Structure 1
Amino acid sequence: MHITRRTLLAGLGAVTLPVALAGCGFVPQDTGGQADADTLTFTTWGTDAELAGFRTAIRGFQRAYPGRKVALNAVPYEQMFTNIDAQLQAGNPPDVFRVPYYSFGAYAGRGQLLDLSRSLNAGVGDRFTATAWAAVQSDGRPFGVPHHTDTSAILVNTDLMEQAGVTELPRSVDEAWTWDELGDVADRLRGALPDDVYPFAYNWQGNGVTRWLSLLFQAGGAFLDADQKTPAIDSAAGRRAVSFAQRFFEERWVPANDSIKSATYASDTWYRQRVAMVWSGAFQIPDAAQTLDFPWTATYAPRQERGGSDFGGNALVATAQTTKPDLAASFLDFITRRPQMQDFCERASLLPTRRDLVDGGLRFRVRPELTRTFVDQASVIQPEDVAQVASPDMASIITVLQNGLEDAFVGGAGARETVATLQRGIAAATGGRA
């Protein structure tokens, strides 16, 4: 049994590490010698590589600003947000925490995050890509900083591909397979592989249901209008995206247990060599390189009307209840400077949000030749895609998507019925008009 990211995270214990902290975005003011006023609490989860990146940055903070400290608390992912929510309700949250972009909007919408527009220098936003900066905005103001991103390309078992005579893969994001071309490849694999080995698996299990939205974007669709309330999924593009995903199951391109609510993650199926391809984020690369005993590489997710991909990754946010807003802003500035972001992303095989790293200069420490595939894959994500996922109601929308798409993929609901159901559910979640 290979160690997945999820099982790895579950095994991490709580760790507290004091470190020094400061940054040029905002230099903390003198606190009169009060120890607590000089210590920032920071809660996160992380893989071994991610936590090593945080700790390396923390040592840099201590060298730069002796006396400014951060208490780093690392917890298992499964406990992370149960703990954060309970602490917010009790009035004793950490000063800073890590949050997925798809959860950011809910915290910002409830007024639980610190408005950084007055704390960060005005030019800090210019360091980030437009897409990344859009992901941490609420009502036109920043309530966090985009620490890193990730997106799903396709990991490929080259041995299984060669069994079907597929030896050429797209060499650029502009040459990515269209849906028809992906279907042709899947048909070739289905005909050549053993009955219990499948062409691919899609990583939309659990909260990963947001990755189905990549197909919706590829079809030229949206699930919310610009107001983040009015549902837009009941459309020709929505029906095409549902119908195409239904073919995965109807034509046995994916295993039957690759559904939205499956307890089996797509990556687990690929590790066991039961599929030739898997949609995956770059974060899987270090584990795969250490674990797999078959040759593999990466290629691009498909395109249709346009390229489309998921905006994964995490922001760093300060809580509105923090008594150290200046120190929190200093931390958020420091950790997103180029040296710290480059080190973190290269260690953990994650994608940067800084313009000067996206445009070059980044190389994963493991399988560096795959860096460009994931960086280019992320380039097809549009700011308007991210703005939808940053909806304050995204947690409720995720439940709507999980239920509606599961019914479409394994419950027999048709595409037209499915998007109509999703439209009504999203309207109920956002208070918009269906």
Structure 2
Amino acid sequence: MSLSRRHFLTAMGAVAAPVALSGCGGFSTQGGSGGGGAAAEGTLDFTTWGTDAELAGFRAAITAFEAANEGVTVNLNAVPYDQMFTNIDAQLQANTPPDIFRVPYYTFGSYAGRGQLLDLGSHLPDGFGDRFTPQAWAAVQSEGSPFGVPHHTDTTAILYDVAAMADAGIEVPQSIDEAWTWEEFADVAARLRESLPQDQYPFAYNWQGNGVTRWLTWLFEADGRFLTEDLSASAIDSDAARKAVEFTTSFFREGWVPPTNSIRSSTYAADSWFAQTVPMVFAGAFLIPDAESTFEGEWAATYPPRDVRSASDFGGNALVATSQTEQPELAAAFLDFVTNADPMREFCAGASLLPTRADLVEEGIEFAVRPELSTVFIEQAGSVLPEDSGQVASPDMSAIIAVLQEELEASFVGERDADETVRAMDEGIASAVG
């Protein structure tokens, strides 16, 4: 997941207290057989970044895993996000990586594609993938095999200033089926533009930096793709892509977003909302604890707009084991354990994140902060299709991200039209996967 700078570089969010995680026994050393082998002794090194709440959730899960498996130790190494992958890459190069690390879904494919991750197919219990939603399981596949486990997800909804929307006479959707169409959303933005002072703007979108993958939501809503089904070629040259580029570029041409809301801006969308220069912000659920403690005034959440269909970004992070681990069975056992229902429920509730287990999605979870907003984000996450998340798991995603950043920026802050932008993206993506 591409978190905001506020969460990466500062210690924020509600701190989840360690909990007793029931129903999670010791692990089997029988690989995919799911047999009842005894727990072996061993030590795992686990590297991650995280908010205070996320790290508390990891520590609680580690404590429970160690308690269930006498003689096992898991060392948690927490690092700042801006150092995370520089460190991981250097350790992989030096053949000294941790056994396990955390990785955004949009980065997962590049590690799996280079053979740096453990193929978990023979190390996990039979039917392991059935516990997850199809879109979550698709996000950790490489050439038909799982190279990670989908630990949690996050997705984008709209956080809004209740008073500002009321002042403009705007009613917000109360269910995903009532979400604004693109045309209705454009009308909302225009009405806000008329009602707001000149130094304020209707909304900000969270596509800065690697968050450019969230622009793909508009492409998916228009029923488009950026890669072919086998992920081997570009599929972005389409009417859907031209429509998505034209609509999102209009945000800048119409003055609906701040000029600083472009792809390469150093101002994150959430910063504009916290400064209350926009009444709406497209944001992930992880921002909820920060918003509750920081935003002045009443605020709530609603659903993003839709076009041909509803769609959303598949944010969040997987947990992976490195191919160099000397403890593959123990690493797989830990990944199995943390994706059991109790550990995942406690982690997601405490950190305001979304589960990837189908049973937890079905029964719902309640965030520790603003639990009434859980439904908005869970319903929105349900609009992600497996073919959407599967494209983002491409091993070429890092290069594709660079193409999207360059070409969309040229459209948003320049004079280039949608046709030229889509042609440039098509050429760049074709080169990235060629």
TM band (smaller chain): over 0.9
Partner of 2:93: 89
Name which of 122, 147, 171 aligns with 1:143: 147
- Output the amino acid matched with 1:43: T
Does residue 9 (structure 1) correspond to residue 8 (structure 2)? The answer is yes
> Residues 174 and 30 of structure 1: is their aligned pair in 2 closer, same or farther, counting only changes over 3 Å?
closer
Write the distance in 2 (CA, Å) between the matches of 1:338 and 1:298.
26
Structure-1-length-normalised TM-score? 0.93
Q: How is 1:22-101 mapped onto 2 (pairs within 5 angstroms)?
A: 26-27=28-29, 38-101=42-105
The answer to whether the 8 A contact 1:145-1:332 is kept is: yes
SS at match of 1:230: coil
The alignment covers a number of residue pairs equal to: 415
Partner of 2:391: 388
Structure-2-length-normalised TM-score? 0.93
The answer to whether the 8 A contact 2:29-2:38 is kept is: no
Partner of 2:110: 106
Aligned alpha-carbon RMSD (Å): 1.6
Deviation at 1:6, TM superposition (A): 2.1
Partner of 1:176: 179
Partner of 2:331: 328
- Output the amino acid matched with 1:26: S
The answer to whether the 8 A contact 2:156-2:312 is kept is: yes
- Output the amino acid matched with 1:88: L
Partner of 1:191: 194
- Output the amino acid matched with 2:331: A
The answer to whether the 8 A contact 2:264-2:405 is kept is: yes
> Residues 171 and 90 of structure 1: is their aligned pair in 2 closer, same or farther, counting only changes over 3 Å?
same
Deviations 1:149-203 (A, max 9, x none): 000010011111122111x211111111000000010111000011111110000
The answer to whether the 8 A contact 1:25-1:121 is kept is: no
Deviation at 1:88, TM superposition (A): 0.4
Q: How is 1:105-124 mapped onto 2 (pairs within 5 angstroms)?
A: 105-124=109-128
Write the distance in 1 (CA, Å) between the matches of 2:174 and 2:254.
27
List gaps (5 residues or longer) in structure 2: 12-20, 31-36
The answer to whether the 8 A contact 2:364-2:375 is kept is: no
Deviations 1:210-248 (A, max 9, x none): 000000000110000111121011110000000000110
Write the distance in 1 (CA, Å) between the matches of 2:234 and 2:26.
41
List gaps (5 residues or longer) in structure 1: 13-20
Deviation at 1:122, TM superposition (A): 1.5
SS at match of 1:315: strand
SS at match of 2:425: helix
> Residues 149 and 25 of structure 1: is their aligned pair in 2 closer, same or farther, counting only changes over 3 Å?
farther
Q: How is 1:31-430 mapped onto 2 (pairs within 5 angstroms)?
A: 38-166=42-170, 168-430=171-433
Write the distance in 1 (CA, Å) between the matches of 2:10 and 2:407.
32
SS at match of 2:76: strand
- Output the amino acid matched with 2:297: F
The answer to whether the 8 A contact 2:39-2:70 is kept is: no
> Residues 84 and 294 of structure 1: is their aligned pair in 2 closer, same or farther, counting only changes over 3 Å?
same
Deviation at 1:62, TM superposition (A): 2.4
The answer to whether the 8 A contact 1:42-1:95 is kept is: yes
Write the distance in 1 (CA, Å) between the matches of 2:85 and 2:100.
13
The answer to whether the 8 A contact 1:282-1:350 is kept is: yes
The answer to whether the 8 A contact 1:26-1:329 is kept is: no
Write the distance in 1 (CA, Å) between the matches of 2:127 and 2:239.
41
Deviation at 1:66, TM superposition (A): 2.2
Deviation at 1:207, TM superposition (A): 0.1
- Output the amino acid matched with 2:66: Q
Deviation at 1:291, TM superposition (A): 1.3
Write the distance in 1 (CA, Å) between the matches of 2:350 and 2:10.
20
SS at match of 1:42: strand
The answer to whether the 8 A contact 2:47-2:76 is kept is: yes
SS at match of 2:202: strand
